Amino acid sequence: MTGKATLPPKGKSKSKTASPSDWLEKAHVLTEALPFMQLYDKKTVVVKYGGHAMGDDTLAQQFAHDVVLLKQAGINPVIVHGGGPQIAAMLERLNIKSSFKNGLRVTDAQTIEVVEMVLAGAINKQIVTALNAAGGTAVGLSGKDGDLLVAKKTRSKTKNPTSNIEKAVNLGFVGTPTKVNAHILEVMLASDIIPVIAPIATSANGQTLNVNADTAAGAIAAALDAERLLMLTDVDGVKDKKGKLIERLTKTQAARLIKNGTAQGGMIPKLETAIDAVKNGVTAAAILDGRVQHAILLELFTELGAGTLIE
């Protein structure tokens, strides 16, 4: 268990104005969370962390504390992060044009260098630093380290809505995972370490490939037989055609949303990842709004949950 943080002296809490009833309510919340803590005890939870929540200092600090709390509660969190907004900002600064196809960034030779620099460099170390500051023991990795993530170039197609004719799309240096070296992560999880993974992979012939963070998280969750895959994003969850949040989906229902066009853009790889993860042994996957305070705690430790659960 992590144990860097020290308790404040009794009576020196920040909540100086809290009444006995306030403290009683906090104790009540903890007892309600107990059955959920027992459910996830010693289980692995893979969290895909990304979106604009990473750029909000308050939310980033809360996220770090929540992850350390999971570890302290006997759960094994694994963090896989994205960085779309940060990559886009850097590409703009460098005047490198970028585009998306089927929710995936088209990545040429110039772009993959920027993607690796931002993901495996700046963002990865920012998250590690925040987790360590919150009392955890975090170690940053990219999929290249120890061949943690091996991938092949992604083949994608687009369909003409008028003719229904499919056309191949060249995504460049974008990868689809073919192998996860779970042993590296299992060694870390057996200790106090919280792995933080940037989704940069290598191909069989040594090429650097950019893997969608959701896709990488799903592959890692399946390789670890995770109890939950949590994908934090910038929307409430999966919505129907009327814009209403869908709280639960089966794999079949999720696939239908992709096929009938209800799911579009970046939601497509998220749903595909959730479907594949559940098919490959993950108990359930959830798509959550990372802008909501303590979203992962609400999902894991309350009956309410948050976002959309796919099982």
- CA separation for the pair 236, 244 (Å, rounded): 10
pLDDT digits 0-9 by tens, 83-99: 888 898 999 999 998 87
Cβ pair 174, 105 in contact under 8 A = yes
Longest dimension (CA), the chain: 71
pTM of the model: 0.85
Fold of 43-310: Carbamate kinase (3.40.1160)
DSSP structural state of residue 245: B
- CA separation for the pair 78, 41 (Å, rounded): 15
pLDDT of residue 220: 98
pLDDT digits 0-9 by tens, 91-125: 999 999 887 776 677 788 899 999 999 999 999 99
Mean pLDDT (whole number) for 11-24? 61
DSSP structural state of residue 171: E
**Helix residue spans in the chain (DSSP H):** 20-40, 57-72, 84-93, 109-116, 124-133, 182-189, 213-223, 251-259, 267-279, 295-301
Domain regions of the chain by residue span: 43-310
Reported residue count of the chain is 311
Beta strand pairing call for 228-233 and 193-198: unpaired
Cβ pair 205, 178 in contact under 8 A = no
